[in-house]
Structure 1
Amino acid sequence: MQNYSINEALSREQIDEKLAQAGWHVQDKHRMNLYAGLGVAIREMDTNTGPADYMLFIDGKACGIIEAKREGTSLGSVAEQSGRYSTSNTSYIKRWSEDGQPLPFLYEATNVEIRFRDERDPIPRSRFVFHFHKPETLHEWLQEEQTFRARLQNLPELDPAGLRDCQIDAINGIENSLKQAKPRALLQMATGAGKTFTAVTQVYRLAKFAKAKRILFLVDRGNLGRQAKAEFENYTVPNDGRKFTSLYNVKQLGAAGVGDDIKVTISTIQRLYSQLSGKEMDDETEEHSTYEIESAPNQKVREVSYNPAIPIEQFDLIIIDECHRSIYNLWRQVIDYFDAFLIGLTATPTKKTIGFFGQNLVSEYTHEDAIIDKVNVGYDIYRIKTKKSEEGDTIEAGTTVQVRDKLTKAKRLQKLDEDETYQATQIDRSVIAPNQIRTIIQGFKDRCLPECFPERHWQGQGTDKHMEWVPKTLIFAKDDDHADRIMDAVREVFNQGNDFCKKVTYKVGKKTADETIGEFRTSPIFRIAITVDMIATGTDIKPLECVIFMRDVKSQAYYEQMKGRGTRVIDADALQKVTPDAVAKTRFVLVDAVGVTETDKTESKSLESKPSVSTFKLMEQVARGDRHLDTLRSLGNRLMRLDIKLSDKQRQRVSQVAGKPLALLAGELIHATNEDTLIQNAVIATGKIEDDLSDKDIQCTFEPTADSLVKPFHNPDLRELLEELRKDTEQIIDDSADELIEGTGYDSEKAEQLIQNWQQFIQDHKNELDAITLIYQKPYQQRHLSYDLIEQLADEIKQPPYHIAPLEVWKAYEQLEKAKVKGVPAKELLTNLVSLIRFATQNVNELEPFENTVNKNYQVWLNQMQQTGTAFNAEQLDWLNKIKDQIAQNAEMTLDDFEYTPFNQDGGLIKARQLFGQDLNKIIQELNGYLIA
């Protein structure tokens, strides 16, 4: 007997329909015919761990699982169930996977959402898909030695011949993103820099080396499509000599549709929509830019339904040229339809564009290496601030946003008639801001981890599956849905699969949650857990080294309990079993992403502060006897607005409880309180003329009607239902980019402590270390600093009890004395210690990178030499610049240095003596002292 709910049964019916649309034969287990067609889906298929909702068969052999859930279920943790069934045995059933290996194709689905992963991928990671894949596609994938994502790992090094630096950076950036399976990437390249040529080069590499089947190249209008086609036709394949189109078919999308033999399809978004929707389109339409189309009046969001002739897996990759706002406004669902990587090309990315592409800006004009901080710090608070978290944001009028039903998770698109401004407190309530979460997690990965755990050497994270052991981390989320979104962001930002980060909430079931907590304690693979309150108190997870608050807490006692999750002591051997590169747990880091460390903690409940009466209060007043026409008019208007937002199923629920549709109920209130109606009824009832009517006359006449109108509101079930729907019905999704803002990093107390440690170190060693003694006591002409002496200083400050990282001291000064700090070093040169010492000892009033000091002093020295009658020719100036750079990098110049790069390439010491003669030694000694003054 089936034991799932009616709601789940309705979901199964719609899942059956979707499977049939994709070409699957859906059967009951007792009516099984595995050869009824290429693809067969068997309901409630038995396994040795229980019945799988659907087991998928290709050519008679099992290849996948669908775990079906009722509408509104959060699918984030359901992947574990499909994963369990994928490794379960079924008697006599042949499998496409070897014994003990999971079935490759795993889905989790409601009637609204579908998630999918291929277990053969290098890092299997669930992703949302618009529909189920066709059996023919899965059959084709099964016969390939590697998946597309696996083949992406084998792309050879790029040959830079014939490419500009920005093009090389772009291709490397895109390929790195693809190898990490990031679904979207954005490339910024200035107009005229060769975006299309870059794209064609990228397409060729993916076609040849990753065996990409089909690629879509989206253009803004028809003529750009023709230009793009010409670019493909003229492209000469590297090290081959043939043209691209002699090897691969390139076509512009037309009435014939997308052919299986077409490697590259070029199309406008308008033409693609026409093909998907089956709606005819005149040729002129695609000659207009989508900029113009969107700005035209009465434009509606383009919605699409599944089209088996163009399945979701039609393309492996979609390149969007000129990816401006219309792509994610009017045409977003067209893009979201395909299960494909998205690569955006643009010259001018906006915040919204960057947000749509997940803030994955893979390349700009120049490629800059990220600076990874190496600091050795103790326990403290690490604050992460983003613009949206602190200030909220405004979504401009005219923007098309996704609006999500909280209960069912169904999404619809809506174009805003006016600016939508929201406060930070509304995030994850009435507004969802995916990039706020992503920015916080990115800040944790890129800034917090390297700064707080410098000894873990975060530079090597490119190939290590477990990010060189991210410290065990617990994240506190606001609710189960929030936890799902955090979980997806963590997996994406860290480029990891489902096992790396999991949710631990009551929604996954108590038994499953307990098992997950146990796994979190002991598994080296499981690094980050997300909870709402299940691990907030009492749970002992000793290896935990980071606690991230992404929710605020008002209770001081509860806050202390939550912080306590990170305080457990663990011996070094036990810690290293789960975090192999850890030395010892001497502290944990509390990462505050919401200001939890800054808000007042109290046990009392907040008082009502809004001057206006809430809808729920209005209904209660009516139930108590309030019959004032203003009350009923306001209530009618609010309920009419609510009805517009409800789904058909929600309207049915209201009708069952109220005895009539909500729209009718609201309409009766509005009509009865119409001013003309009220006056007309009062004239009839009182016999007075209109001018003689008083407000009391109108109200008294209205009250008998009001008694009849408000009868449904005497039912508390209706009031509670309407309040539930009003509060929870929908959330606006703000996809625009977020950014870290000033204040991210250690708090001021930590900065002050760092500076105190640094100054104490100088005080303790000023008479011992030669490097410091020279700077303290001698005039600049005698301040000869050797690199060896600076290294001695650097080694000393890293030792106990100081544990000082110079760059962290620099950032602490920047936080506390920003007006005096002129920039942060581009890289951690030992010579910047000189600048720190001079600033700490108050020899100078500004802290600036050592290289800046040397450059400024060098210009002053040249001016002085010129004023005293000493002139240098061009060749001498070139050598003086090299000497200056040597001092900036190493704090000194010696005669021996002339035998090394870059001097030896131009003649070394012999050449230097030819240029400067007997003055060479004097010049070097003078520059060694003057430039570091």
Structure 2
Amino acid sequence: MFNKKELSETDIRSKYIDPSILKRGWSENQIKREHSFTDGRIIVSKKGATRGVKKKVDYMLYYKANMPLAIVEAKSNKHSMGSGMQQGIDYSEGLQHAEKLDIPFIYSSNGDGFIEHDRLTGREVELGLDEFPSPEELWRRYCVGRGITPEAERIVKQDYFFKLGNKTPRYYQRIAINRTIEAVSKGQDRVLLVMATGTGKTYTAFQIIHRLWKAREKKRILFLADRNILIDQTMANDFRDFDDKMIKINRRNISKAHEIYLGLYQSMTGTEEWQQVFKEYSPEFFDLVVVDECHRGSAKEDSAWREVLNYFSSATHIGLTATPKETNEVSNIHYFGEPLYTYSLKEGIEDGFLAPYKVMRKGLDKDLVGYRPERGKVDKYGNEIVDREYNVTDFDKSLVLEERTKTVAKEVTKFLKATDRFSKTIVFCIDIDHAERMRQALINENSDLVRENPKYVMRITGDNPEGKAQLDNFIDPGTAYPVIATTSKLMTTGVDAKTCKLIVLDSNINSMTEFKQIIGRGTRVDEAYGKSYFTIMDFRDVTRLFSDPDFDGEPIPDKDFDPTSIGGYSGEKPPKGKGDEDDEPEGEYGGAPKKFYVDDVEVKLINERVQYLDASGKLITESLVDYSKKNIKKQFATLDEFLSIWNRSQKKEAVLAELHEKGIFFDELKEEIGRDMDEFDLICHLAFDRKPLTRRERAKNVKKKDYFSKYEGKAREVLEALLTKYTNQGISQIEGIKVLKLDEFKKIGGSPAKVVKMFGGKDGYLNAVRELEQEIYAQ
């Protein structure tokens, strides 16, 4: 008879927890074991990018495929029955928005029974092994707790759309979809979802629409956007399975025989009655209107865009945005109400679904100290330049320093040559004229590749048909050209450029909404094409906006915000024409030209700085040494505490990996300190002022002690080879069995199995390695 206290957690699951759950009517297809719900944060350092640990739960129990109801955390019998509860609650309630997984029921078990935490009531009870609730019991309790009536239940239980080979919703998409379906089933007619760029807003919208449509709760649906590319991408990608049920409507294409309608605001409205396509449909024609990118558009009560929503006021309205706004000029919260669900950029990066970034800030001399022309100076076209101080806000808007454009192009090219010259790159410029001059400068810096393919650099702006025609090629991961796109406003939003690895900021951006949208161009992950993070090269100090508390938090209203001062529907000035144009520069100085062009003033790079994200998703603004020292001491309060954890650790690499996840970049630190030392010594020296030793010195000390005399023959040769490996490459290279597959170990003892046999088996070999590590780090 086995002793339950000696069973592993795995045994507790298989012998006690699994039978208890299955006996109560849960089928295998309702149970997900060891369920990972994040991808693991991507950690960026000088060496590149690595993945952190995925968050997971021991069990996720589903009533239906779209409705997880419970998680179960298992512990060995050495722990109390409820010892896994706090872990379970943390996972279900999340870190920032208090409801990470939005799971109502949490269980903890050590094999003796279950502790149940009901998030709907806030109560906990103890259950026997044979008292675990059935799927129907939990569903009934869920409906009561969430106020879902039998009539609403029909809608809520409608399945997701799923086709073999298609993706399934991530946890945050599932929460957004389910909350929206529940809200609509209860009669809520205005819903706002806030989801960071790159997190799949249109896919989420598709699932919401499909479930409401299949349940016949909403029979005719209108999807509104403000840019052609948003409509076209939506139809070709996320909405493609609507197939012939779907149509794009405009002045030339009015149909009433379909069920899913997609429309561009600008093609449905106009100043003349005959231009107002939406009035071809009766006010009650649509049951549901979904407004994509609802932070854009006019805020005025009498705007054409608001008129469309007012006309179809009897329909349910769902707004989707990455950037909620709340000021006296614009608001979407006042119209739609508080967000039903928010998934932020910070959460997306933390979960590993979005690409993190590093920032390269570039300081040009004229940007930092300004430029004033000498009296009577004329530009290259003979125009006398207005005598005043010009600074970075003027450059390329009212005064062009041509050498400045060339310097920016040189820096961009230098970075690409040092990394990958075929990294998709977007250069954001002041206006169309600036984008064109930047295109020329980049061509001249990359003439070798332009000679091979003239589409290596393209200007993609609203006024240029040739450039706009290349937009699909730029965002297609499988198409190499164009590589570099210069733009102004056109590519700030709605451009799903998954493989964009470099974003260059050479435009004066003060709008938080626009800044978020631009950063969103790089946040998509596509590891199949080598895209796991991106770089932001900032020439105009735009990335100062990262430090603004509004960057990634809840929308912060102006202190004098008055909802009655605006019409309700959100947004900025709507794009002109078809919604695809860039803005031209504004203003003249008296009778002077809009811009002066100066070609004889030198511009130099005088400083640059690289910044990485810390563990909380914020840019590290202090020195890397100061930041690392502070955060190591947060992890280990004293040297003794660090030494204790280091010496007890079965794998030193695990300690280093945990610090790396918290933003401690050892390679960069060694470079900044200017000394090649072991990570152990780096930690002791940096945080606790201990004199460091090199790996060579540590290896020499081991040899002095005659440690190897206890081993003979080939076993000794293996350990000596491990010490040499440590000396050359560090402690992480000698831990585990994999190192024995290398040629130097094969020459000594043959296969890994034969080598470990020299030490009496795997456990004996690993014990010998741990002894070696103790000798290396002996104080």
TM-score, structure 2 as length reference: 0.31
* Richer in helix (by share): 1
TM-score, structure 1 as length reference: 0.27
Who wins on radius of gyration, i.e. which is larger?
1
* More contact order relative to length (CA 8 Å, sep ≥ 6): 2
